[in-house]
Structure 1
Amino acid sequence: MAGDLRSLIDMADAAHNKRMIKSALKSFTRSCGFERFAYLQKEGLEIRTFNSYPEEWQAIYLGGKYSRIDPVITEAKRRMKTFCWTADDWPVRGTSELKRFRDQAIEHGIRSGVTIPIEGSFGSKMMLTFASSEKKADNSKLQNAQEAMHAVLAVHYRLIITAATTVLTPKQLLSQREAMCLMWAAKGKKADVTADLMGISPRTVQHYLDSARRKLEAETLPQLIAIAKDRGLV
């Protein structure tokens, strides 16, 4: 896998849009013996995904809010280490929602695979899944845990970089402390909670948020968070 991983990292680093990242991941997926990939980031109830699954399946998955019952996500959160799975092993009965989910997944070519979960920043979870339509996928090329984690991180950070496409003037660049306070505020944390998390005073937290608000020309905290999200800062 080492040569394929090196190629993925090089291609991801050279990518300047999501189309190029997807192309790099598709090549890596095929070289590992799989058909499709799905990168997913979960922060609380919010799900962000970047994948090569059929569009019809994506619509069904998101529309049915299947992340609530997806056995792959449940297992990834529980184990937080690389694991293999097959839809045929999912415990289903009768006409349950999980049975419907399994049947629809298999129908759209998602029957087995390997998932690599990683603990992200600010309590988020990231996972990269390689899927196959076969009853049992060959995971022999994804058994090196460290290399698998490198693949996830290469994709994760390149997606962050390509998302931040807005050009900022030097005056608008946030300091590390301003960015951290803003990140926690975007996750709904009050100043006193953020202060405890960062080991500073609530007054200092407010100072950093006020500074960020001036730099991004926001009138209120909600507007600051909205601007920061639009510009890929959080």
Structure 2
Amino acid sequence: MDEEFRSLVDMLEAAQDEFMIKGALKRFARFCGYERFAYLQKEGAQINTFNSYPKPWEGVYLSADYSDIDPVITEAKRRWDVFTWSAEDWPARGSSPVRRFRDEAIDHGIRCGMTIPVEGGYGASMMLTFASSQRKVDVPAPFDQKRAIQLVMTVHYQLKIIAAKTAINPKQVLSPRETYCMTWAAKGKSTLAIAAIAGISARTVQCNLDKARNKLGAESVPHLIAIAKDRGLLDL
């Protein structure tokens, strides 16, 4: 575990873009017996995510505001320590919001995991989760709290550094039309609604949103909006 941890930190610190960070975290996740990872930063109502979860699940999670009822986040705020969890321990299938969350998480391959929470200032929080579709995963060795926090903070600052570089890169600047479509999407408008407002086709709207996603490295429209808000690219 020590060698793998040092290798992960070295790869993160040497990363030049989000793709390299994602590759390093996916590799470490597999070493620990997990399939995916998810970094989440929560500050008030604002959520920023960086993960290898299925794209449909990320969209569902953000659009349904699942961070407000996510049992993993609830447990993280209670413990502020490395912990493992299992969806098997959450309420069984039913009609309550938490039960619905459990059902959808399992359906998207999120069944058990290990989470490292870190408490930030002014009510902010950060957490890094490694997850699996299996019922249980045996971690190779205990995860030391001090090193776990170091890992989360390394991911946090590397993402901020890369985001800052991207924000000043001329190739990453959004066009007025891309910003316009993204702004309406952030206000909850559908592709068809944006097309009607802008007087363009729905295909053109989608094309502009896709271009904006590619420029900002977003995996979905909710992810695009989260990145844009974090970088101050939206005036809502």
Same fold (TM over 0.5): yes
Q: What is the Cα deviation at residue 69 of structure 1?
A: 0.6
Q: CA deviation at 1:115?
A: 0.5
Aligned residue for 2:141, secondary structure, equals: helix
The code of the aligned residue for 1:55 comes to K
Q: Give the Cα separation in 2 of the matches to 1:115 and 1:68.
A: 17
Q: CA deviation at 1:13?
A: 1.0
Shift, 1:96, TM fit: 1.3
Letter in 1 for 2:15: A
Query: Structure 1 residue runs of 4+, over 3 Å off?
Result: 226-231
Distance 1:93 1:167, change over 3 A: closer
Contact 2:84 2:115 in 1 (8 A): yes
Greater radius of gyration (CA) = 1
User: Quick one: distance in 1 between partners of 2:146 and 2:123?
Assistant: 21
Conserved 8 A contact 1:118-1:149: yes
* Alpha-carbon distance in 1 for matches of 2:12, 2:59: 26
Match of 1:89 in 2: 89
What is the aligned partner in structure 2 of residue 209 from structure 1?
none
Residues 228/8 of structure 1: CA separation in 2 closer, same or farther (3 Å cut): closer
Structure 2 CA distance for aligned equivalents of residues 17 and 121 of structure 1:
26
Gap regions ≥5 residues in structure 2:
170-227
CA distance in 2 between counterparts of 1:139 and 1:104 reads 25
User: After superposition, what is the alpha-carbon deviation per residue over 1:108-139, rounded to whole angstroms, capped at 9, x for unaligned?
Assistant: 11000110001124431110000011112223
User: What's 1:56 paired with?
Assistant: 56
> What is the CA deviation profile of residues 163-218 of structure 1, one whole-angstrom value per residue up to 9, with x for unaligned ones?
111559xxxxxxxxxxxxxxxxxxxxxxxxxxxxxxxxxxxxxxxxxxxxxxxxxx
How do 1:184-203 and structure 2 match up within 5 A? none
Letter in 1 for 2:52: S
Q: Which runs of 5+ in 1 are unaligned?
A: 169-225
**Corresponding residue number in structure 2 for 1:106:** 106
Distance 2:40 2:156 in 1: 9
Matched residue count? 174
Displacement of 1:28 in angstroms is 1.0
What secondary structure does 1:47 align onto? strand
Point out the more displaced range, 116-125 or 3-12.
Answer: 116-125
Q: Which amino acid aligns with 2:116?
A: I
